[in-house]
Amino acid sequence: MEPAKLELSREEMRAFGYLVVDTLVEYFSGLRAEPAARKSSRQELESLLREPVPEKGSDPGELVRRLSETVFRSMMHLDHPRDFAFVPSPSNFVSVMADALASGYNAFVGSWFSGSGPAQIELVTIDWLRQLCGLPETAGGLFVSGGSMANLTALAAARHARLKFDFSHAAVYCSDQTHSSIERALRVLGFAPAQLRKLPSDEGFRLPLAALEREVAADRALGRLPFCVIANAGTTNTAAVDPLEELARFCAREKLWLHVDGAYGAAAVICDEGRRALAGLELADSVSLDPHKWLFQPFEIGCVLLRDASLLKNAFRIMPEYLRDVYRLPGEVNFCDYGIQLTRGFRALKLWLSLKVFGLGAFREAVARGLELARVAEARLREAGCWEIVTPAQMGIVSFRYFEPGRSEEELDAATERAAAGITASGFAALTTTTLRGRTTLRLCTINPRTTEEDIRETVARLAKYAREGGGERTGDGNPR
């Protein structure tokens, strides 16, 4: 070891590298038997991990072992087959190794000059997603950290294309089911809160076209400038898909930008059933789609696509003198021109490598399996007789709430919450609640292709028990009772 050069010897690199790989292989192959989630108290983690800046070094292998026993045990495993909370991230080992390669080669994919090979892989992979979404050849985009950045990037480009620098009278429209990252993106971009019109969703939690038409007309009558509609291709709460085709027709008529937030759901377009559910996605001006959700990638990888990719360049390109060598040859693609980051890593590699290794057919089956598992979950919930289905299985999500005759809504809220808290604390499965129509509601998001029907059956059985009895403590070894 040459600490002053921050170097390990060849043998030390190998030994450390193998230890890391072995640790990950054990994690991947043993995950099903581990708790789906484990949250430690702040106090416990402070006592385990608080320490002064280390002046002297330590053995890297020892440190990895310590991390495995503390840090990596104290987390929700979003790739666990019984993690149904929020939006799971059922990643895959090939992509994890791709991340190691991207990081190991320390690829810089901000400019062609510094990373032509990696930039070409990003171009190709982005183009695959463009084709899968049915967007025209003029479309393009880039990989970003996730859905929040994808929405921000798309809205920044939309604002620049349609409003330039004066947007004080502009109005943006979405349903009340729209992800908070849209509101945050508009805040970051300098829109006042009142410029976002959040319309009440319909009985299927979709953006109602008639209400949108009325709102836009009312705004125009008041001299305001309707500018952009945000449509959902799979809301976070219930996976509702807004009426994309109708919205696209309306936006074309009214000259409004249509942004489709498909961070969660747009990936379903790769299978037949998903493509039918998402008809109209191909008409969007911009789309967000997160490979770290339903394309089985580890964090962080989101994607933003614009129908006219040159609009990203118009919005973001600035050519400072210290990058003069970068801008010599036309035809070279500098991804720093298409988004917010100059220095950006090689996110595309993991999606490219896993698609190449497994093939799109495997991804298609994996997505279709998630759609099917939500239907299995709905059937088991109906059979159990103690659940009200709030929204039936659609796009990999079913939402439901505890039901028992003679109980008040408040008591049912409390039982629903007990079910989620109990099963998650037990470690057997992880579920989270949300609020729908003012009432506490549970969701199962079933997009992990490694989830079995038995996982679903047992989860539903245990949920009923926790709803009635509470509990969910772990045994001393951290395993569920």
Residues at the site binding ligand PLP, with contacts judged by CB under 6 A: 87, 146-148, 179, 181, 236, 261, 263-264, 290, 302
Spatial separation of the C-alpha atoms in residues 208 and 201, rounded to whole Å: 6
Residue 264 CB, shortest distance to ligand PLP, in Å, is 4
Between 292 and 418, CB nearer to ligand PLP:
292
Q: Which is nearer to ligand PLP, 149 or 216 (CB)?
A: 149
Name the H helices within 278-333.
291-294, 310-316
Q: How far is the CB of 212 from ligand PLP (least distance, A)?
A: 19
Q: Which residues pair with 433 in a beta bridge?
A: 442
Task: Give min distance, CB of 445 to ligand PLP, in A.
Answer: 10
Indicate the residue among 146 and 422 with the shorter CB distance to ligand PLP.
Answer: 146
Q: Is the CB of 122 or the CB of 183 nearer to ligand PLP?
A: 183
- By 3-state DSSP, what share of the chain in percent is helix, strand and coil, each rounded to 5? 50, 15, 35
d(CA 311, CA 271) in angstroms, rounded, equals 29
Per the structure block, which two tokens stand in for 163? Answer: 């409003």
For the packed helices 244-254 and 209-221, what is the interaxial angle rounded to 10 degrees? 20
Query: Minimum distance between the CB of residue 84 and ligand PLP, rounded to whole angstroms?
Result: 14
Is residue 69 within 8 A of residue 332, CB to CB? The reply is: no
Nearer to ligand PLP, 58 or 180 (CB): 180
- By beta-carbon proximity to ligand PLP, the closer residue of 181 and 334 is 181
Exposure string of 447-462, with b = 16+ CB inside 10 Å and e = fewer, is bbbebeeebbbebbeb
Cβ 146 to ligand PLP shortest distance, Å: 2
Which helix (H) or strand (E) segment is 144 a member of?
strand 140-144
CB nearer ligand PLP, residue 83 or residue 261: 261
* Residue with the two structure tokens 């429209």: 173
Q: From the CB of 143, what's the least distance to ligand PLP, in Å? A: 12
Instruction: Give, rounded to a whole angstrom, the gap between the first and last alpha carbons of the chain.
Output: 46
For the CB of residue 76, give the shortest distance to ligand PLP in the complex, in Å.
14
Tell me the closest approach of the beta carbon of residue 179 to ligand PLP, in angstroms: 3
Tokens of 176: 């009340």
Of the two residues 179 and 344, which places its CB atom closer to ligand PLP in the complex? 179
Q: Which is nearer to ligand PLP, 265 or 427 (CB)?
A: 265
Q: Which of 294, 278, 349 is nearest to 123 (CA)?
A: 349
* Structural tokens at position 373: 């598992």
Q: Are strands 225-232 and 432-436 parallel, antiparallel or unpaired?
A: unpaired
Of 451, 390, 427, the closest CA to residue 240 belongs to 390
CA atoms within 13 A on the CB side of 120: 4
Q: Give min distance, CB of 108 to ligand PLP, in A.
A: 23
